[in-house]
Amino acid sequence: MGSRVLTLSDDGGERTLAREEAEVIRYPQGLELASCGVSLSALRHFPQHARQADIVHYHFPIRDDAKLSGL
């Protein structure tokens, strides 16, 4: 199998999309803390996905004030 991308969505439940670039697995975003989306269902399934991965890459938003200060 090729690449797999896990992402959060605020427009519904779990869904898997077959794309040419990767399999995209969307989990519902339950809440947002400090500009970071949180999904209980994604957290519940994360260990299963991580066991199948060679590399796990996280993306976290950077606050505007942190960008301005060079952080």
Q: What is the pTM of this model?
A: 0.72
Which pLDDT score, from 0 to 100, does residue 43 have? 92
Tokens of 14: 């779990």
What is the per-residue pLDDT across 5-42, written as a single tens digit (0 to 9) for each? 999 988 877 899 999 999 999 999 999 887 788 899 99
Domain boundaries defined on the chain? 4-68
- Distance, C-alpha 54 to centroid of its chain: 16
Burial, 28: exposed, middle or buried (Cβ in 10 Å; 0-12, 13-18, 19+)?
Answer: middle
